[in-house]
Each structure stands twice: as structure tokens, then as C-alpha cells.
Structure 1
């Protein structure tokens, strides 16, 4: 038996429960790990509340990320052996491979032997953010040295990862936050410029920073009414990558502005990368190299105990964190 977090109806954080369930043996292509830390994502909050791409089948598990120790392997688990320290690249299903658990059976193809310098908490805060940002900025947008990239929700784990990757490339990251409260933190995290989405002269400031050109690449997980301002901030021939829907309001499509600037407005999902083995392996290699070189550094906002999962989700949804929210299990060092 193992303890897992599940929910039996859509709702707020309070619907999460810790249940005892049987632990299955890993299938041929699977690995079972003893979970030491879990990285939380807004996707899990949206899934729990019924606002995500995947629908729950109750009682439902949830969770995309984890780090821990291999304790059983399937017949085709390849390079993994009992005792290996591993972390998880988010698989296709948030429920089937739910990581909110003491023991989790996971697809071997999505596991990584991360650098030994990382703690379990840090390792659980790596793969969603860095592979998401790498896939969008490097694979899709082909971000180049000297180019401006505008990053909204910049204090999120993916936003901070995007800032780090932009700096690796030699691009110029413009961080956007809702308020000025995180201005200094974002500068310290590597942003070349920091703007707030609430400031009245937002587009004038983008124009000033970019010498009137606008940002060639815009990376946005919010959508909603602010999308029209992002179109205004984009350079002619630029690309706006929308990878989330955090805003509950409709997202306008300013057709004539998009046409007049010859813009690409593109939806983007992490699974575009993880569903293609060659891109998945390239993403893993890129992130590991950056972690080993120290140019990629996961930022942890706060940690919670496994028993505090409801509080952890409340904190996640408040939106005040800077970096990743992590849940640790009592047995983790």
C-alpha cells in the first residue's frame, strides 16, 4: 500500500485527499520510484478544478513531476536499475502517471538520471519548466542572440526558465509581471528589463526598450484581454507563443493588427516536444548541460510537506510565488 493524493469531484484545493491504495508492479516499459519530492504546476490546479485539457475519471490522481529513487523496474526499463536517483519529464497524462504519491509507477522513457549536484527538491523543479521554455524559444521560435523576447508571468517557474535560456542564447529578456512587487527579484534573476502588465504605458515602454522595433518573440501563458497589448508589443514578422490559459476572460484576436504586422500567433504545448523521441532526447541533453554548467538553476519559492498538499495548492493559486512550489516527503533527505 502507498499514500496518494486523489480527488473525487472538481473543486478548490479542499477536494484533495490522501488515500491509501495498492501499488501496482511496473509494466515492461515502466519504473516504480520512491518519491522524495514533487514539483507543482498550475496545470494540476486547473485539472483539479475541471479547467484543463484532460478530463478526470474519479477518483482521480494528479501530478506531472517528481524526483526519487528507483525501487522496481520493468523488463524493458532500459538503462534504469534499483537504487538509481531519477526525475520525471512530464508524461502525456496528468492522471495516469499521477506523481502525488509516496510510490509512483512511471514511464521509463520520461525518466532522467539528473546531475548528482541537485537535491530531490531541485530535481523535481526542473523538467516542466526547462523543456517547455526550450521547446518554445529554441525549437519553435529559433531565438537568436541580440533579439528581444518578452516573457509574461515571468516570476513563474517557466518564466524564470525562459529568462535563463534567453540569457544562454544571448537574447534580451523583457520580463512582465502583474505588479511591480517582484521587480528587483526579476532583475536579480537575469531579466534585462522588467515591466508590469498593469502599467498604463506598457506598450510605450516596450517601444522604448526595443528602439521602436517591438519584441520578435513573445512567450505567454495567460491569454485573455492582455493578448491584444502583446500583439501591439510584437515586432513585425514576430511570433507570439501562447502556452497556457491562466486568464478566465476571453482572448481577443485582433485580426487586422495581426495581418498588418504579418504575425504568427501560435498555440504551444510541452507535449509537442515530449511526444517526439528525438526532440525529447535533445531537450534532456540541453537541460542537463545547462544544469551542469550552472547556466540553468531551478528557483524554489517554497516547500510544503506531503500532508500539506491542500495548503500547497492554495499557495500555488494565490500567484504570489517566485519560482517553483515543491512538496517534499518526510523520508526525503
Structure 2
């Protein structure tokens, strides 16, 4: 038997329940993991509240990220063995698998060995945020040394990951935050500069920081009408990646900036990387090397126990975190 988090209706964090379920032996191409730590993600809050890309099927399970020890493997699994320390990368839907449990089965394509220098908490905090940022900045954006990247919601776990990746390749990460209150924190997290978007002229600051050249990439989960200010501060052939919708209003983009600078605006999501075997392999190698070398290091904001999963979700909804929220078993 395994403790498992489920919910039977959408709503506030209180709908989450801890129950006991029997865990089947891993099927073909599955790995069974004794979970030591779980990473909490915004997608799980959206799924719990009925605002995700799929509707929950009750009783519903959830959870994209976990780290632990392999207990068993299914047939045709050759890359993992009992005793391996592994992490799970989001590359499945909640209707298929859920990582909020003491013991889980995970699809082998979503499992990765993590470096020995990581704790289970750090491992559970790493893969979603670093692979998400890697996909936009490196796989699609081809970010190069000396270029500039503006990072929206920079104090989020993915924002911090993007800053570390930019620094890893020699680029300049410019953190975007609503106010100056997080300036010191963001500079310590790796920002080369911080712009307070409600207190400063965003376009003017971007042009000043880039010496008039503009930013090559914008990596933003916010969107909305204020994108116009970012567009005016982008470089020729610049690319804007929107990977969330914290502002659900439509983007506002100056047409002359698009035409005059040949700007590209595109939606981006993690599954573009994790459901493509070749891209996933490149992402795993890049992130693994960064974690092993210490150039990439997850920032953990707060740790909860498994029995406090409701409180962990409440904290996620407070939007007060800087970095990753972790639940341990």
C-alpha cells in the first residue's frame, strides 16, 4: 500500500486528500520509484481548480515531479535498476500518471538519473524548471554568449533557472519584476540587472542596459498589454517566448516593431521538449552537466511534509515563493 494524494472535486487546496492505494508492479517500459521528494508546480494548482488543459477524472491524481530510489523495473527497461537514484521529468498527463505518492510507477522516458551531488530535495526541484528554460533559451532560442535575455516573473523557479542557464552560456539575464522589492534577491540569484516593470520605463531600461541594441530573447509567462513595452526594447530578429498566461488578456504588439525588426512571437511549452525523444535527450544532457558542475543549482523556497500537502498548495497560491516548493516523504 502507498499513501497517495487524490481529489474528488475541483476547488481550493482543501479538496486534496491523502488515501491509501495498492501500487501495481511496473508494466512494460515503466519504472517503480520509492519517492523521497516531490516538486510542486503551478500546473498542479490549475488542474486541481479545473483550469488546466485537461479535465480531472475523479478520483484524480496529480504531480509532475518527483525524486527517489528505483524499487523495480518493468520488462524492456534496461537503463535503470533497483537502487538507482532518479528524478521524474514532466512528460505525461495527470490522467496517465501522478507523482504525489509514496510509491509511483513512471514511464521510463520520463525518468533520469541525477548527479550524486544533489539531495533528493534538490533533484525534485531541478528538472521541470531547468528543462523548461533550456527548451526556449537553448533548443529554440539558440542563446549565445554576449546576448541579452529579458526574463518575466524572474523570481519564479523557472525564472531563476533561466537566469542560471543564461549565465552558464555567457549571456546577460535581465530580470523583470513588478517592484524593486526583490532586486537584491534577484541579483543574488544571477540577474545582470533588474527592471521593476510597474516603477520604471521598461523600454527605456532595456535599451539602456543593452546599449541600444535591444534584447535578443524575451522569456515570459505573463503576457498581456505590457508586452508592447518589451517588443519596443527587443533587438532585430529578436524572439519572444510566451510560456504561461499569468495575464490572460491579449498581447499588445506594435506592428512597426514586428515589421521593422523582424520579430518572432511564439507560444512555448515544456511538452515540446519532453515528448520529443531527440530534444529530450539533449535537454537531459545539458541539464545533467549543469547540475553536476554546479553551474545550475535549484533554489528551494520552502519544504513541506507529505501530510501537509494542502498547506503546500496554499503557499503556492500565495505567490510569495522565490524558487521551488518541495514536499518530502
TM range (shorter): over 0.9
Q: Look up the SS of the partner of 2:154 in the other structure.
A: coil
1:242 alignment partner in structure 2: 242
Q: Distance in 2 between matches of 1:265 and 1:14?
A: 38
> Contact 2:3 / 2:21 at 8 angstroms: preserved in 1?
yes
Q: Using a 3 Å threshold, how does the CA distance of structure 1 residues 84 and 19 change in structure 2: closer, same or farther?
A: same
Residue 254 of structure 1 deviates from its aligned partner by: 4.3
* Cα offset, 1:255, TM superposition: 4.1
Q: Deviations over 1:139-175 (max 9, x none)?
A: 1011111111000111111111110110111111101
SS of the residue corresponding to residue 298 of structure 2 reads: coil
Q: How many residue pairs end up in the alignment?
A: 329
TM-score (norm 2): 0.96
How far apart, CA to CA, are the structure 1 residues paired with 2:193 and 2:231?
19
Corresponding position of 2:193: 193
Q: Which residue of 2 aligns with 1:212?
A: 212
Matched, 1:35 2:35: yes
| 1:232 paired residue number | 232
Verify the 8 A CA contact 2:232 2:254 in the aligned structure 1. no
Aligned counterparts, 1:143-292, within 5 A: 143-292=143-292
* 1:108 corresponds to: 108
Aligned counterparts of 1:18 and 1:224: Cα–Cα separation in 2:
38
Q: Using the TM superposition, give the Cα deviation of residue 80 of structure 1 relative to its aligned residue in structure 2, in angstroms.
A: 1.2
2: CA distance, partners of 1:15 / 1:225: 34
Q: Return 228-237 or 259-268, whichever deviates more.
A: 228-237
Give me the whole-angstrom Cα distance separating, in 2, the residues matched to 1:252 and 1:59.
40
Judge conservation of contact 1:38–1:65 (CA < 8 Å) in 2. yes
Q: Is the 8 A contact 2:174 2:194 kept in 1?
A: yes
CA shift at 1:245, angstroms? Answer: 1.2
After alignment, is 252-261 or 268-277 more displaced? 252-261
Q: CA RMSD in A?
A: 1.4
SS at match of 2:226: helix
Residues 259-282 of structure 1: per-residue CA shift (max 9 Å, x gap): 333210011111111111111111
How do 1:285-324 and structure 2 match up within 5 A? Answer: 285-324=285-324
1:73 is aligned to: 73
Structure 1 contact 222–247 (Cα < 8 Å) conserved? yes
Show the counterpart of 1:136.
136
List alignment gaps of at least 5 residues for structure 2. Answer: none
Q: Using the alignment, how far apart are the partners of 2:310 and 2:114 within structure 1?
A: 28
CA displacement, residues 182-209 of structure 1 (integer Å, 9 cap, x when unaligned): 1101111111001122124222111111
Alignment match, 1:19: 19
